[in-house]
Amino acid sequence: MAASCRLKPLSSVAVSGGTHGNEMSGIYLAKHWLRDPMELRRGSFAVTPFLGNPRAIEKCERYVGQDLNRTFTTELLSSTEAEDEPYEVGRAREINQTYGPKGSAQAFDFMFDLHNTTANMGACLIVDSEESLLPMHMCHYIQTHYKWSPCRIYLYKLPGEETYSIDSVAKAGLALELGPQPQRVVRADLFAQMRALMACALDFIELFNKGTVFPAFEIEAYKITGRMDYPRYPNGEISAMVHPKLQDKDFLPLHPGDPVFQTFSGEEIVYKGDTTIYPAFINEAAYYEKKVAFAKMEKHTFSIPGLQRE
Amino acid sequence: MTSCYVVHEAPVRRVAIFGGTHGNELSGIFLVKHWQENGAEIQRTGLEVRPFITNPRAVKKCTRYIDCDLNRVFDPDNLGRHMIEDIPYEVRRAQEINHIFGPKDSDDAYDLIFDLHNTTSNMGGTLILENSRNNFTIQMFHYIKNALAPECCPVFLIEHPNLKYATARSIAKHPVGVEVGPQPQGVLRADILDKMRKIIKHGLDFVHIFNEGKEFPPCTIEIYKIMEKVDYPRNKNGEITAVIHPSLQDQDWQPLNNGDPIFLTIDGETINYEGDSTVYPTFVNEAAYYEKKQAFVKTVKVKLTAKGIRSSLS
């Protein structure tokens, strides 16, 4: 068995609520922590809370100009300020200045990003890839210590794709995605779950910082392989809905030939792929305009090497 | 056969189905768009049924409204306002709609308007009644409830001196609100669309049967009458300080008694309902009502009776 990897302890940690201005669990949590940061303190570090997209939060919209959580590409972050640029481009530069710069030695050690989805994804932990050692260990710790509901791991980076999310500004990051919750609604149950998940994650960092040796393990995770759009009319409008048999079945197997869409005349459209996939983000409100009815995921088991602090 | 217990009502010839009064409530929008392309399902002999998108600009942006809530501006003041430059889009639109389907309170107004809505609240397929003395509508609701049984179809009466609002459908002689949830804004669920579709089908079947001359004897239905709106607890800055309690979340139409939890603060403190009698909350945690200062609405259960009706041309 390979020896543990050693990483520096974490000292600069941030959490964004309201990267999307209508995903309410994270917004209410971040506002609470800004008034009273006690919960975010541990012996060896403290977490800095902030509101990701304050203008969108004020309007209770996902974004004002463009999706903030797609704006952290190298190109956009290094672009020069222009008068007519979308608000979120300027905001991304600010965030990059405060918590980055992305890719540099000065960047924050870790960033959490709090989200909700209208999809039935339960408690979902979003990491860029299985190669991100610290986040994978954090997910494993959360899965074994958070008892309220199962947590699934979602690996979001497609091969060759650049990272573009807010947490990619820091050296490592994790997004918490809780659903189903409508936009603009706070459900007490999901709010409590998100709070408890954060507490668990911070417990892990504290243990890591204090020198705990985390042994190697095997872990199941869902890795994105593509996205499926809705069938559409020539004018671009959707011509079918997520099929009732697929609705709410996030992370359950979808086999070739299983129903995926239903037209307004009642016809069934089936999945025409070659292999079984595990769909996620099924019927997410914000993804209609991104032309995504669901994300196609494969289930993998990864071997993750052990970890301890330097 | 004539009977003094039967009211002769004019046949219903002109029917409209409104979708997109709120541009992010998708079931009605997609049903209306589908029916505009292929209206076979909503046709009945002897009547004209016109599907119509009421707030196209809001629908295009997938937002509830552009300037103000279209479903609150069909009052005489707004409908009569002179067209000046900075009139809100929805007021101008309300006047256009009143011109096409009204004028409200005149003989030329449409006979019946179904107005299709979704809610984030767990209200199931709710029918909204504006007037407790509208025999035709109460009879229709009785018919729809029976057709959908054993599935529940709550009837919500919004008649109230100050809480009643001036809806788009109020232009018609017989306004019918159809509110189906839970569905998030901007999401189209097949099961919710199907529920809405069935309600419309039975509503149109009723109109057709009524026009053909069937006599509907007096009937009684159980309804929920609006009593009072309850806002979220707020601090002096107007910010919400507690959310709907998990015990109340999703419990629309279930009895709420004195001492039952209604809100939960961020510190974990429970706030309980204080009241003399059992109420039946609805619109519990509706996304669009945070800005209207409404966490839920209290209703009481009432039995409403309609006189027997028969079409006057038969």
Strand order in the sheet with B48-53: B48-53, B14-19, B112-118, B174-181, B124-129, B155-157, B219-230, B296-306, B280-282
- Tell me the average pLDDT across B193-219: 98
Q: Is B30 on the interface with A (CB under 8 A)?
A: yes
Tokens of residue A248, six digits? 């709410």
Is B169 marked as binding a ligand? yes
Average pLDDT of the segment spanning B231-244:
95
Min Cα–Cα distance to chain A from B98, Å: 28
What is the C-alpha to C-alpha distance for residues A183 and A199, in angstroms, rounded to an integer? 24
Which of A81, A131, A162, A177 is labelled catalytic? A177
pLDDT at position A194? 98
Which chain A residues have a beta carbon less than 8 Å from that of B288?
Answer: 184
ipTM of the complex: 0.96
* Number of CB pairs, chain A paired with chain B, less than 8 A apart: 84
Q: Is residue A146 within 8 Å of A123, Cβ to Cβ?
A: yes
Nearest residue, CB atoms, B186 vs list A241, A242, A288: A288
Q: Give the H/E segment covering residue A294.
A: strand A294-304
**Is the per-residue pLDDT at B202 higher than 80?**
yes
Sign of CA dihedral B295, B299, B23, A235: positive
pLDDT, one tens digit per residue, over A87-107 is: 999 999 999 999 999 999 999
Q: What is the DSSP string of B98-129?
A: HHHH--TTSTTS-SEEEEEEE-SS--EEEEEE
Sign of CA dihedral B189, B190, B195, B197: positive
Q: What is the overall mean pLDDT for chain B?
A: 96
Is B1 a residue whose pLDDT tops 70? no
Nearest by CB: B185 against A28, A264, A285: A285
**Could you tell me whether strands B124-129 and B174-181 are parallel, antiparallel, or unpaired per DSSP bridges?**
antiparallel
User: For testing the chain B interface, which of A264, A268, A281, A283 should be mutated: the one with the most B CBs within 10 Å?
Assistant: A264
Stretch B260-266: mean pLDDT, rounded?
97
Instruction: Give the pLDDT confidence score for residue A2 in this predicted structure.
Output: 57
- Shortest distance between the Cα of B247 and any Cα of chain A, in A, equals 10
Q: Which residues of A touch B245 (CB under 8 A)?
A: 188
**Cα gap B124→B144, rounded to integer Å:** 14
Task: Decide: pTM greater than 0.95.
Answer: yes
State whether A243 and B190 contact (CB < 8 Å).
yes
In angstroms, how far apart are the furthest CA atoms of chain A? 62
Residue B244: closest CA among B306, B182, B178: B182
pLDDT of residue A20: 98
Check residue B3 and give its pLDDT. Answer: 53
* Structure confidence at residue B163 (pLDDT): 86
Predicted pLDDT of residue B4: 60
Q: Is A20 annotated as a binding residue?
A: yes
pLDDT < 70: residue spans in chain A: 1-3
Q: Is residue B306 marked as binding?
A: no
Q: What integer pLDDT is reported at residue B76 of this predicted model?
A: 94
| Whether the predicted pLDDT of B2 surpasses 70 | no
pLDDT value at residue A114: 98
Task: Please list, in sequence order, all residues whose beta carbon lies within 8 angstroms of the beta carbon of residue A288, skipping any fewer than 6 positions away.
Answer: A230, A238, B62, B186
Q: Which one of B151, B179, B239, B269 is the catalytic residue?
A: B179
Q: What DSSP letter does each residue of A132-171 carry, written as one string?
A: -HHHHHHHHHHHHH--SS-EEEEE-PPTTPPP-SGGGGSS
pLDDT at B83 over 90: no
**Is residue B38 over pLDDT 70?**
yes
Beta bridge partners of A309: A7
**Across the interface, do B186 and A286 touch by the CB < 8 Å criterion?**
yes
Max alpha carbon distance in chain B (Å)?
Answer: 67
For B274-300, write each residue's pLDDT tens digit: 999 999 999 999 999 999 999 999 999
Q: Answer yes or no: is pLDDT of B82 > 90.
A: no
Residue by residue, DSSP assigns A219-286 as EEEEEEEEEEPPPB-TTS-B-EEE-TTTTT-TTS-B-TTSEEEEETT--EEE---SS-BEEESTT-GG
The answer to whether residue A131 is catalytic is no
User: Is A241 close to B191, i.e. CB distance below 8 A?
Assistant: no
Average pLDDT over residues B269-274: 98
Show residues of chain A in contact with B30, CB under 8 Å. 238, 241, 264
Per-residue pLDDT, averaged over B117-132, amounts to 98
